[in-house]
Structure 1
Amino acid sequence: MPPLGDLERAIMDALWAAPEPMTAREVQDALAERELATTTVLTVLGRLERKGLLARAKDGRAHRYRPKASREEHIAELMRDVLDAAPDRSAALASFLGSVPPDDRSTLRDLLG
């Protein structure tokens, strides 16, 4: 899965934070500080949908968008993609674990054990 651009990430963050699916206008309002045109929001929503990250449902004249996976599931998939690209998976994991703070190492031990 390709990494998200800055605007794609901001839109996904808004959708992940929302309690229910959002229209393009609601996404635009959530990102008001960016002063985005509705067409820009619609273009990025379409791109995210084509990437398989969003589901779209008709709601009157508009569409509502929702993430297909949680933020945590998305991050886990990115981590798997990076590991799959490593020529030496063991070395990549060892390097990663060497950089993990002690609290996270403890959490990993708990999850594995």
Structure 2
Amino acid sequence: MGKEQEHRPGRTARRGPGELEAQILAALNRAPGRVSARWVQQQVGDGLAYTTVMTILTRLQAKHVVRSELIGRSYVWQPTSDEAGLAALRMRKVLDSEPDRDAVLASFVSALSPQDEQLLRGLLVCDEGDEREA
């Protein structure tokens, strides 16, 4: 008999890699300003433990995606990046961990849709123009 994931009341299905980080970052990007971890916990919901929220916020801070400030006896948090920035950070980490960057980039580009390839070309042309002006 195959193993089936047991569903327990009050528990949600297991999140994919990076999904909780993205949810917490999305909540911070919706925030009216600097907010407490408790505020983030309430926004994400799903029975998420306060300690889990603090762990993820600390990890995001180590990645320079959020920053904290001590106000009184509590920390408040704010994003320094958006979800796209977090995804780009993950992509750079994967690229940095591979011994043959050229092969990885070539494989990535060859797998792009024509629309994504055109978008990437446009972004690269814009960046080259910015560098020439500097």
TM-score bucket (shorter structure): 0.7 to 0.9
Question: Structure 2 residue aligned with 1:66, among 68, 75, 78?
Answer: 78
Larger RCO, structures 1/2 (Cα 8 Å, 6+ apart): 1
Identity of aligned residues (%): 41
Whether 1:27 aligns to 2:29 is no
Unaligned runs of 5+ in 1: none
Query: Structure 1 pair 108/82, CA: closer, same or farther in 2 (3 Å)?
Result: same
Unaligned runs of 5+ in 2: 1-16, 126-134
Report the equivalent of 2:109: 97
Report the equivalent of 1:12: 25
Choose 1 or 2 for highest CA Rg: 2
Moved over 6 A (4+): none
RMSD over aligned CA atoms reads 2.4
TM-score normalised by structure 2 residue count: 0.64
The size of the alignment, in residue pairs, is 109
Whose helix fraction is larger, Structure 1's or Structure 2's? 1
Question: What per-residue deviation string (whole Å, max 9, x for no partner) do you get for residues 37-95 of structure 1?
Answer: 33332343234334543211133443211123333333323222222222222221121
Q: 2:109, 2:117 within 8 Å by CA — same for their partners in 1?
A: yes
SS in 2 for 1:87: coil
